[in-house]
Amino acid sequence: MSKQEYNITAYTENQVGLLNRLAIIFSRRKINIESLNTSPSEIEGIHRFNIVVHESEEVVRKIARQMEKQVEVLKVYFNPNEEVIWQEMALYKVPTDVIAERALVERLLREHGARVVLIRKDYTVFETTGHREETDKLLAVLHPYGLIEFVRSARIAIIKTSQGFHHKLREFERQQPGEEVSENEFLDRRDKVFSM
Amino acid sequence: MFPNPQLQSAPASPEALAVPQVSGAVALLQGLVAEGVDTIFGYPGGAIIPIYDALYDFQEQLNHVLVRHEQGGIHAAQGYARASGRVGVVFATSGPGATNLVTGLADAQIDSTPLVCITGQVFAHLLGTDAFQETDILNITTPVTKWNHQITDARDIPAALAKAFYIARSGRPGPVLLDITKNAQLQLFEHAGYEPCTHIRSYRPRPVVRPEYVQRAAELINQAQRPLVLWGQGVLLGSAEAEFREFIEKSGIPAAWTILGAGALPTGHPLNVGMLGMHGNYGPNVLTNECDVLIAIGMRFDDRVTGRLDKYARQAQIIHLDIDPTEIDKNVTATVPVWGDCKETLPLLTQLVAARQHPAWRQRFRDHDAEEVAAVIQDELFPTQDELTMGEVIHQLNQLTQGEAIIVTDVGQHQMVACRYARLNHPRLSITSGGLGTMGFALPAAIGAKYGAPHRTVVAVIGDGGIQMTIQELGTIMQTGIEVKILLLNNQFLGMVRQWQELFHERRYSAVEIASPDYVTVANGYGIAARRVEHRPDLQPALRQLLSHPGSFLLEVRVTRENNIFPMVPQGCGVGEIRLK
């Protein structure tokens, strides 16, 4: 099965040690995490992990189920790149004298949609957001001008088709503490279930 | 007495003054009592002394069994849990005490055994300083626990304990570890009472059953000409033995078991066609690759059961009933997955399946049985050579116990023989280390099993390799006076490794010949009666003595040295390639 980038989105409790528990799921299968971001979600007390891996759908599905099996994990989605809006942020530190003297650089910055974050006598910091290839392009352009430092953030992604997890969580909570509801929607995706 | 600077009570609000102040340790023990715990296996140490101190006042409610090693403690708790169906509880101190639990945690995790382990931890202000007997037990045990949690404030103990029990016993059960810092054990707080946990927002142990999948599964079963049921421990964990039996008896489908599923259907039941897997029976293995519909119930397609996956049941439509969604499609892709507790799904399925007999198909299992009896079983159970075989020992044990005893096995050749040949009339009579294959499991697990099911005879069947791994637990038997029948099958080898070396490594017997102590003397040293036999006429009287002796007894049986366990699916082969010799 062919591999591609998958964006794994996990909604979790904010719990010490959970990062380790989730990381082990990847490491014991020798799967490299390309990018990992965790932050509070739109729901109070619920954290959101964005994890990027380069793997086959079958492997990612199994990982997602293993993640969702963890006690503190509420919900895990996985999507290929075309199903998500995603961004990474990059910071570039460049000598200020080069920026000031070479108008060419300024033009390049404009072309790449970069913004100035800080200007000092000795260096200037630019910021840009976009897909990897976009931030990479500016990196390549700035290299010849004495780039001092570069850093790129983990990827953050929002699922295009999802109604958002907030709605689902409210639905879960509405039905609690009555009958416990589990979604087994992964079963719905099994197109070949009735293929006999 | 020295004042303890860590002994501080939490600030009290005026309206809460009427609530009694208790220490974290007392709150913990109150919680255990509230959860219905009666037996704790453990070993004290510096970081858990406050809990042991509190235990002094709980002796009437909580029976603490002092083991000789924490590994023995956790295996005993596993035996208790498996025999009783309740949650096993273990105490251990920080550092080495806690790390000694790791093997048992891994074993319990892979075999879905519900455990709550309480470890002491250094004072919270010392965490991360490499303090005396400090280990980061949370991170060490993360991969081998269903859930773990560290408590640094006594006020968190009741809720965390309630959560621990709920997680350990619900859904697919498993081991949970609570690490409690010493200051939290000592700290006084206003304890408003213990409340059991019934719901965790992010944890949904009981999936909603989807009737359309049950319906589809029933249709497949009703169309099947050669259906085969494979059942595992899920049937026992879900207490669904009766539901399972109804399903089997109505549908008339032959059913085979994984070693952890043993006993869910009595050994003598006409639809019980034997054991699956590497050393399982010939019929169910071969016919796995000939059935048209394979119904897997509460089993996880372990590689010891499936052999090579690309040669496994390729011809069959597969129905997989499991409570754990991660098991569905993990190793074998299901045609129809039925996600749910089999206690709930099986009755739904039974309603929809047609009453059938499958006489011709069942005859094929009997034909293969006859082949296996002629090639393997006859010689194993009724040998003609002078030396005793493991199989005949188990066979004679069966005649005396009549399928009513709990058989606890260690890991190795004797385990495969015992699992293959032991007769079991009831559920929860077979206790073994399945997924992890932990040598040293049986002796402590048998001690725990006797506490879990005191009315049953408990026979620990152990090899000469395994018993030497946890032989110190004879001390636990000595001190507690618990009655465990130890049947030691001594072939003077690490037999299973030797078998592999013989079959696959040109008889290069590397480090498998293992010397034994004089077990009779060792047992006697612990005040346990013992006997050794090596001749056939002595076997049955000795087994009678083992079973009838008041109290524990160790019977060492010297068996033939280089016997092999057959049938066998060699590693890297499909189940259809099972060898009879």
Q: What is the model's pLDDT at position B10? A: 54
Tokens of A42: 């739109």
pLDDT per residue over B337-350, tens digit each? 999 999 999 999 99
Would you say the ipTM is above 0.85?
yes
Question: Taking phi first (over 0 means left), then psi (-120 to 50 degrees means alpha), and beta for anything else, what does residue B154 get?
Answer: alpha
d(CA B245, CA B267): 12
d(CA B560, CA B335): 46
B146:A74 CB<8 A: no
Nearest Cβ partner of B202 from A62, A73, A186? Answer: A73
Q: In terms of Cα–Cα distance, which of B126, B118, B133 is closest to B54?
A: B118
DSSP state of B373: I
CATH number of the domain within which A121 lies: 3.30.70.1150
Which residues neighbour A32 within 8 Å (Cβ) at sequence distance 6 or greater? A26, A53, A54
In-domain check, residue A132: yes
Active-site residue identified among B327, B496, B499, B566:
B496
Which residues neighbour B423 within 8 Å (Cβ) at sequence distance 6 or greater? B267, B268, B398, B401, B402, B403
d(CA B176, CA B149): 8
Q: Could you give all domains of chain B from N- to C-terminal order, each with its CATH number?
A: 21-190 (3.40.50.970), 211-364 (3.40.50.1220), 386-559 (3.40.50.970)
Both A125 and A165 in one domain: the answer is: no
In-domain check, residue A174: yes
Please confirm whether the linkage preceding B11 is cis (ω < 30° from 0): no
Spell B472-496 as b/e; 16+ CB within 10 A means b. bbbbbbbebebbbbbbbbbbbbbbb
Q: Is the pLDDT of residue B465 over 50?
A: yes
Both A92 and A66 in one domain: the answer is: no
* DSSP letters spanning A96-147: HHHHHH-HHHHHHHHHTT-EEEEE-SSEEEEEEEE-HHHHHHHHHHHGGGT-
Angstroms from A55 CA to nearest CA on chain B? 16
Q: What is the model's pLDDT at position A105? A: 75
**Chain A contact set for B208 (CB, 8 A):** 179-182, 184
Closest residue, chain B, to A65 (C-alpha): B326
Residues 91-150 of chain B whose Cβ lies under 8 A from any Cβ of chain A: 138-139, 142-143, 146-150
Tokens of B486: 């130890």
Both A69 and A105 in one domain: the answer is: no
* 3-state SS assignment for residue B448: helix
Q: Is the pLDDT of residue B8 over 60?
A: no
Nearest Cβ partner of A71 from B143, B203, B326? Answer: B203
In-domain check, residue A139: yes
d(CA A111, CA A105): 10
Phi and psi for B478 in degrees, rounded to 5? -60, -45
When pLDDT is averaged across residues B101-105 and rounded to a whole number, the result is 98
Q: Work out the burial of residue B262: count CB atoms within 10 Å of its CB; fewer than 13 is exposed, 13-18 middle, 19 or more buried.
A: buried
Residues pairing with A12 in the sheet = A47, A73
Both A75 and A98 in one domain: the answer is: no
DSSP state of B280: S
Both A8 and A78 in one domain: the answer is: yes
Q: What is the model's pLDDT at position A145? A: 87
Phi and psi for B134 in degrees, rounded to 5? -100, 130
Interface check for A118 against chain B (CB to CB < 8 A): the answer is: no
Largest CA distance in chain A: 72
Residue A128, domain extent: 85-152
The stretches in chain A having pLDDT less than 70 are 103, 172-196
d(CA A24, CA A11): 17
In-domain check, residue A187: no
DSSP state of B135: -
Place of tokens 């996600």: B339
d(CA B118, CA B96): 14
Angstroms from A114 CA to nearest CA on chain B? 40
Phi and psi for B98 in degrees, rounded to 5? -70, -45
When pLDDT is averaged across residues B350-376 and rounded to a whole number, the result is 98
pLDDT per residue over A70-108, tens digit each? 999 999 999 999 999 999 999 999 999 888 787 677 787
When pLDDT is averaged across residues B113-135 and rounded to a whole number, the result is 97
Both A55 and A98 in one domain: the answer is: no
d(CA B273, CA B267): 9
Residues present in chain A in total: 196
Tokens of B108: 């319990």
Both A132 and A75 in one domain: the answer is: no
Dihedral angle over CA of B81, B74, B63, B155, nearest 10:
-100
pLDDT per residue over B412-460, tens digit each? 999 999 999 999 999 999 999 999 999 999 999 999 999 999 999 999 9
Interface check for A190 against chain B (CB to CB < 8 A): the answer is: yes
When pLDDT is averaged across residues B162-170 and rounded to a whole number, the result is 97
Angstroms from B385 CA to nearest CA on chain A? 48
Residue type, B168: A
d(CA B263, CA B430): 7
Angle between helices B413-421 and B495-504 (to 10 degrees): 100
Residues 287-346 of chain B whose Cβ lies under 8 A from any Cβ of chain A: 317, 324-326, 329-330, 335-337, 339
Active-site residue identified among B121, B123, B163, B182:
B182
Q: In terms of Cα–Cα distance, which of B430, B211, B237 is closest to B343?
A: B237
Per the structure, how many domains does chain A have?
2
d(CA B523, CA B532): 11
Nearest Cβ partner of A17 from B142, B216, B337? Answer: B142
Active-site residue identified among B8, B61, B132, B513:
B132
Place of tokens 């069959």: B316
Residue type, B350: T
Both A16 and A60 in one domain: the answer is: yes
Q: Count CB atoms within 10 A of the CB of residue B363.
A: 10
Chain A interface, mutation test: which of B204, B315, B333, most A Cβ atoms within 10 Å? B204
Distances (CA, A) of B112 to B45, B150, B331, B439, B546: 28, 22, 18, 18, 32
Both A135 and A101 in one domain: the answer is: yes
Q: In terms of Cα–Cα distance, which of B201, B196, B203 is closest to A174?
A: B201
Portion of chain B with pLDDT greater than 90, in percent: 95
DSSP state of B259: G
In-domain check, residue A46: yes
Instruction: Give the number of C-alpha atoms closer than 13 A to the C-alpha of residue A60, restricted to the C-beta side.
Output: 23
Both A74 and A89 in one domain: the answer is: no
Nearest Cβ partner of B204 from A173, A182, A194? Answer: A182
CATH number of the domain within which A71 lies: 3.30.70.260
Q: At B368, is the pLDDT very low, low, confident or very high (cuts 50, 70, 90)? A: very high
In-domain check, residue A27: yes
Closest residue, chain B, to A63 (C-alpha): B326
Residue type, A96: T
Q: Is the pLDDT of residue B529 over 80?
A: yes
d(CA A45, CA B38): 37
Both A92 and A44 in one domain: the answer is: no
d(CA B19, CA B82): 38
Place of tokens 């049947």: B487
In-domain check, residue A191: no
Ranges of beta strands (E only) in B213-355 are 227-231, 255-257, 272-275, 293-297, 317-322, 336-339
In-domain check, residue A186: no
The domain boundary residue, chosen from A152, A169, A190: A152
3-state helix, strand, coil split of chain A in percent (to 5) is 35, 35, 25
Q: What is the model's pLDDT at position B1? A: 44
- What mean pLDDT value characterizes chain B? 96
d(CA B426, CA B448): 18
d(CA B577, CA B569): 6
Both A90 and A148 in one domain: the answer is: yes
